[in-house]
Amino acid sequence: MKTDRREICRILILSALCIVAAFSAFAAEPQTRVVLLGTGTPSAEPDRSGPAVAVVVGGQAYLVDFGPGVVRRASAAYARGCNALAPTGLDIAFLTHLHSDHTAGYPDLILTPWVLGRNRPLRVFGPPGIRNMTEHVLKAYEEDIRNRTEGLEQKSPIGCRVDALEVRPGPVYEDARVKVRAFPVNHGTWKHAYGYRFETRDRVVVVSGDTTPCEALVENASGCDVLVHEVYCEAGLRFGPASFREYHSKSHTSTRQLARIASRVRPKLLVLYHLLSFGCGEERMLEEIRQGYDGKVVVGQDLGMY
């Protein structure tokens, strides 16, 4: 009888230890994930969709930008097991600026999830001009919307509704999972261009948007867990015509400039996206950054999860 009791105690202790170990592993696993839905530029690269980043917290995805291919990339991430990126669940998005490579997927984001069954309005937060863009996109597709709601499909008119809110730098959104802050960045002649800082219970994620080096980004990204930052290859830019070099140097961040930024910010992970390689390979871009930065850095790939 004593042996039985000892055996029972041993089993109970082992079970308790297993539960503690499992809980510890769960607690150590980040609940906030960054999924790159598009790492490209205006160039029509077949392996890189237009700029789009998803910050996934629990079962909710928060998009930053909606370049070409955004919904199909989200669907691919869903097929790989990221349930929060089911197309019908895409209903919160933030826009950095109104450039076409960051917004050409807007009709897709409005309409495709709705056609597939989204029954909630899409909420979009962005700079001045996003409301006007929204109104014109919906106007362009009014015949499609009318046919789908009044015709044989009988779609709900709620799922194609868009609540577009024009925001200024500062806190722009908060719910039980996340706090989101917009900050101004310098992107050529754009009057309003933003980066975004996401604060969750376990991580801080910052997305630069398109920008030259600026103090606002350094202040908002300091000590973050993940910094997703645009970049161009400094060596490659030298071979372009003068107007090409002038535009990119006044609108974007070079590899060496990003190395200096990262050395000040010290993110736990630096992820490169919106990759303007100008013919340079990924290794060359990493080499240029590593000459001035010794932290962890990766070249982002579409559907990469961090």
Q: Name the residues annotated as catalytic.
A: 101
Find the helix packing angle between 106-116 and 130-140, rounded to 10°: 50
254: which DSSP letter? B
Residue 104 structure tokens: 């050409």
Residue with tokens 């042996």: 3
The full length of the chain comes to: 306
CA-based nearest residue to 211, from 296, 43, 97: 97
User: What 3-state class would DSSP assign to 205?
Assistant: strand
Give the helix ranges, DSSP H, for 141-206. 142-150
For residues 296 and 298, give the distance between their C-alpha atoms in angstroms, rounded to a whole number. Answer: 7
Beta strands 194-199 and 179-184 are antiparallel
